[in-house]
Structure 1
């Protein structure tokens, strides 16, 4: 989980870093390791205190009057980091990494340069037993091993986040899943239903041969959508009292079949 800074603390660090040309992420990483981002942190075993755990001597050297004030502590820490970077760049022949800047903050620029320049020597012989023991080192560690322990920890690969001023909003309700696409190939075409035969009783009453009339009714059925075909009514016998109408319909159908 990334360590969160209070907004005023993060603002103080970033402003100081910008003021002196220091990487703000590297400066926040130093504060993260030294105090957990707590400007009121105090080491009961030494004079170290504040956001960057300045001891009395270094605080005096950089004119830090109130080491528990985030703005003052950040300003002094940015100037210290700038000076350490200048010394290490001459030793290394390049700009130091964020982890190397942290090592210099912990051991001083001179101590960090010696550790990096003598990786095979014992760390206690380079910076002293207290400097190794009080910073989580082993008495048998080489200078390179001890330096790498803190260079790796001081890396800015870990995320650094601002303390949120309000709890995060609950995630929105996810959209319902879409219906799966229809695979047309998996649905075979339905056979076309045969058209109903015209009622023979009606044709007989009209004097029309059923075999000849069938193509006309079939063609009429093809022109109508399958689902819209009306139900065929039961055949009705033409009334004997209407010979003129019967003759007219019979003549009409015969002319359509020509």
Structure 2
């Protein structure tokens, strides 16, 4: 190489010394392909995904999912439900052809065929066109799967009173218990075995936190019982009964 004007230094012979603009290829000769996958098509996909994600996050913030209490395996009255995106499978298992002796058909075979069909859709309909009328098999399978999922989810959610369920199973707020309170000793002797150490409740009795009863009502319930609680559970003096009621009211005032 001669030194002088126009001298160029190239570190790798595979790299062009002249920069060329990134111009996508001309796909007009290929039917069904009108743009480059990178960056044209992929950038559009990212933009659509970003818009959908922002909208989904806004809905999540505007309508948060109701939280329930900690699962209690000893509570036989509690009906567990899956998250909303699995409600359609939960509803599917209510039908006779997918439950009972056909349970394996409902939990394995039928969902496997549905999701397997969606995975095979590009291979079953490999046409080059992008319009729906040019991909009848893939579009029909997608519409059928989407409509089935939405219908089963709606049917499952329509039979659940979500507000009442959330209220009945709401988490018990953490409350600091003053064990030096004279009423706590009375509570420990008469109520702790059923209502728990921190008034959180158990499978045998409900929580005593969040109740709205006066002192007289609590004293009456302790002596005469309430719903499934039998009468005569409390055994103590009137002074101890008053101390117990005041202790429960004090705990609930702190929990507010």
TM-score (norm 2): 0.19
TM-score (norm 1): 0.19
